[in-house]
Amino acid sequence: MDEDAELVVLARAGDPEAYGVLFVRHRAVAERVARRSACRADVDDVVAEAFTLVLAQIRGGRGPVSSFRAYLLTAVRHEAARRSVLARRCEPTAGIESLTTPISLPESDEDVCAAYRTLPERWQRVLWQLEVEGRRPHELAAELGLSANAVSALGTRARAGLRSAYLGRTLAA
């Protein structure tokens, strides 16, 4: 058994110093991989999170048995990719204020009610149960003869239909 594998066994048994040795031994290479995979500002966070995730796996009885380094570097790449995806979801836009115009909300809910009444009966029922009654899709599934996923999809389509009907009414006025 190689030295890293022995340290993993000790860390799995609860020895924090063994994991500390693994950290010191592999931190530099983890940082090099993180520099290639993540933006410069995230390198330290990516490495720290990867080591934390690997430690959690080891303590949970999972994770590497051998090849600690390969397991760690894979965790580094996955964490860098996860952060990259999250960063793309939230891209700041300069001058967003100039692109948006304030909207006026209706004085009453008459427009919403009228738009709701234009929806098919099945959509009305699903929206009422999900949004007003606060029921969960898995609770409605048996009543509707659908799977919970199908109820969720139906709710999504019904919300989109309500949104379209409402906008059609308010923009036409």
80 vs 49: CA distance, rounded Å: 10
96 vs 86: CA distance, rounded Å: 20
Lookup: tokens for 110 = 């008459």
pTM: 0.53
3-state secondary structure 2-69: CHHHHHHHHHHCCCHHHHHHHHHHHHHHHHHHHHHHCCHHHHHHHHHHHHHHHHHHHHCCCCCCCCHH
pLDDT, residue 98, reads 54
Give 76: exposed, middle or buried? Use CB within 10 Å, 0-12, 13-18, 19+.
buried
123 vs 144: CA distance, rounded Å: 11
Q: Digits of tens for pLDDT over the chain (173 positions)?
A: 589 999 999 999 999 899 999 999 999 999 999 999 888 889 999 999 999 999 999 999 998 988 999 999 999 999 999 988 887 776 655 655 555 555 454 556 788 888 899 999 999 999 999 988 889 999 888 888 889 999 999 999 999 999 999 888 877 76
pLDDT, residue 76, reads 95
63 phi/psi in degrees, rounded to 5 = 85, -165
pLDDT, residue 77, reads 95
Element (H, E) at 85: helix 68-89
The 3-state DSSP class for residue 1 equals coil
Which is nearest to 123 in space by CA: 78, 60, 165?
Answer: 165
Lookup: tokens for 3 = 């030295």
17 vs 30: CA distance, rounded Å: 19
